[in-house]
């Protein structure tokens, strides 16, 4: 059997532990600002109306069955998923420089990309270290470590401004050995809510090109961040236009509200060259082998829902409307929380609450303040002071503002 020195007890995942503590709290005032899942103004999960319609279509489809998907996943989804990222008139797509594989949501996409790079990013003399932003989605560390790739971090968040540490980031990417793998959040950076501006993205692209770095994009919030699918794809499209060879992990968990259905895709984009289509075909063949050995073929339900919406112009328009509903409510909560704190004269500056974007805000609250909010006010957030904006609503935002006011004084 496995003694503890061989299999030590692992700590519980902090986020899922927080969720358990919240559930067990009997207080009627409790507020869950932990996990990153959208909630409506009644703190309830929201099944997107367009997803309900797609589900209805699926249930009435006499051809629908429970057969296996192909190894690469649902063909009707893959092309539209790539269009969504790169734009329907993308030269990379037209030149057959893109190959896509359906994955177990965004996590599975990051994993498949990590596995592919661990196996094949072995070019003589080129660095294999993956640079992650500090901080980043905690799972990035585990995923890349699990496949045996060395990881390092680059500065990202400035504690002073609660915005981007752009100089620190650039200095670190410049100092990294040429050809390093750089993980970038395409939009709505988790956990900080801080994104580079378009100008800053241009500088990052220029620097990475000069250093021959390899971009690994993680996009889990397209459309959910600004409410505009194209705007949230700015960085991806910029890097693709700049001719980078790159990979993208795409999640449909947040923007379709399909969390537990595990719908997502991994995409490889080759640089433009006379051999790029042939390279892409070879990459696709290896991705298929990796996929086969890991999951054989991906799950079908969420992929069908997303595919129905993405392939129907009327449903697509309705989806965009649903995205504006979610992002609009979150932006509204950002404004209300900031206004609440400013009205109370809470010490400190609170502009970062509205400057940040997406599901999360890095509040700047200390661990001691976070723990006090939990014990005294039944408000749950991760220890780093990150709050999930979707946990706020018109009924609890004033309560949260006044509790924060009390703990920071």
Beta carbon nearer to ligand PMP, 224 or 377:
224
3-state SS, residue 120:
helix
Cα 124 to chain centroid, rounded: 31
| Alpha carbons 182 and 128: distance in angstroms, whole number | 10
Beta carbon nearer to ligand PMP, 99 or 190:
190
Beta carbon nearer to ligand PMP, 249 or 270:
249
Computed on alpha carbons and rounded to an integer, the radius of gyration of the chain in Å comes to: 22
Beta carbon nearer to ligand PMP, 388 or 396:
388
Min dist CB 239 to ligand PMP, Å, is 17
| Alpha carbons 213 and 204: distance in angstroms, whole number | 10
Min dist CB 152 to ligand PMP, Å, is 18
Q: Which residue has the tokens 């067990």?
A: 24
Beta carbon nearer to ligand PMP, 190 or 356:
190
The first and second tokens of residue 46, run together, are 């929201």
Nearest to 325 by CA among 243, 390, 247: 390
Strands (E), 220-269: 246-251, 263-269
| Alpha carbons 341 and 336: distance in angstroms, whole number | 9
Residue 222 in contact with residue 186, Cβ under 8 Å? yes
Min dist CB 388 to ligand PMP, Å, is 10
Min dist CB 223 to ligand PMP, Å, is 14
Min dist CB 221 to ligand PMP, Å, is 7
Point out which residues pair with 386 in neighbouring strands: 362
Beta carbon nearer to ligand PMP, 142 or 394:
142
Residues that bind ligand PMP (CB under 6 A): 36, 105-107, 110, 137, 185, 190, 218, 220, 251, 253, 259, 264
Q: Which residue has the tokens 């896509």?
A: 100
Residue 240 in contact with residue 92, Cβ under 8 Å? yes
Min dist CB 217 to ligand PMP, Å, is 10
- 186: CB partners within 8 A, 6+ apart: 217, 218, 219, 221, 222, 232, 233, 235, 236, 248
Catalytic center residues:
137, 218, 254
The first and second tokens of residue 267, run together, are 């995409």
Beta carbon nearer to ligand PMP, 113 or 264:
264
Other Cβ atoms closer than 10 A to 111: 23
| Alpha carbons 33 and 56: distance in angstroms, whole number | 32
Nearest to 297 by CA among 102, 140, 88: 102
| Helix pair 105-120, 276-294: axis angle to 10 deg | 120
Min dist CB 105 to ligand PMP, Å, is 3
């Amino acid at each position: 059997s496995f003694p503890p020195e061989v299999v030590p007890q692992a700590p519980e995942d902090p986020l899922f532990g927080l969720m358990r503590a919240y559930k067990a709290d009997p207080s009627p005032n409790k507020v869950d600002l932990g996990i990153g899942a959208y909630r409506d103004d009644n703190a309830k999960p929201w099944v997107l109306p367009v997803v309900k319609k797609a589900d209805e279509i699926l249930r009435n489809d006499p051809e629908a069955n429970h057969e296996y998907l192909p190894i690469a996943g649902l063909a009707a989804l893959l092309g539209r998923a790539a269009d969504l990222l790169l734009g329907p008139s993308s030269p990379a797509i037209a030149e057959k420089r893109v190959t896509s594989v359906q994955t177990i949501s965004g996590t599975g996409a990051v994993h498949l990309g990590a596995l592919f790079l661990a196996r094949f990013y072995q070019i003589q003399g080129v660095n294999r270290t993956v640079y992650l932003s500090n901080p980043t989605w905690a799972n990035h560390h585990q995923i890349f470590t699990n496949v045996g790739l060395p990881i390092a971090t680059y500065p990202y968040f400035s504690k002073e401004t609660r915005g981007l540490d752009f100089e620190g980031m650039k200095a670190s990417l410049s100092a990294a050995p040429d050809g390093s793998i750089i993980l970038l959040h395409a939009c709505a950076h988790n956990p900080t809510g801080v994104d580079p501006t378009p100008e800053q993205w241009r500088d990052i692209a220029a620097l990475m090109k000069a250093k021959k770095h390899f971009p690994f994009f993680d996009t889990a919030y397209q459309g959910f961040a600004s409410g505009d699918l194209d705007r949230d794809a700015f960085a991806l499209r910029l890097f693709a236009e700049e001719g980078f060879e790159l990979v993208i992990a795409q999640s449909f968990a947040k923007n379709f509200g399909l969390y537990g259905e595990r719908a997502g895709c991994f995409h490889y984009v080759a640089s433009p060259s006379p051999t790029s289509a042939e390279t892409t075909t070879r990459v696709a063949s290896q991705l298929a082998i990796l996929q086969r050995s890991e999951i054989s073929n991906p799950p079908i339900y969420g992929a069908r829902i997303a595919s129905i919406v993405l392939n129907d112009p009327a449903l697509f328009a309705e989806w965009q409307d649903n995205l504006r509903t979610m992002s609009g409510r979150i932006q509204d909560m950002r404004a209300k929380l900031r206004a609440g704190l400013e009205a109370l004269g809470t010490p400190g500056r609170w502009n970062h609450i509205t400057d940040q974007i997406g599901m999360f805000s890095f509040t700047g609250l200390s661990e001691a303040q976070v723990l006090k909010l939990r014990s005294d006010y039944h408000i749950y957030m991760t220890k780093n002071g990150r709050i999930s904006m979707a946990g706020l609503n018109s009924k609890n935002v004033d309560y949260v503002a006044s509790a924060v006011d009390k703990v920071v004084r």
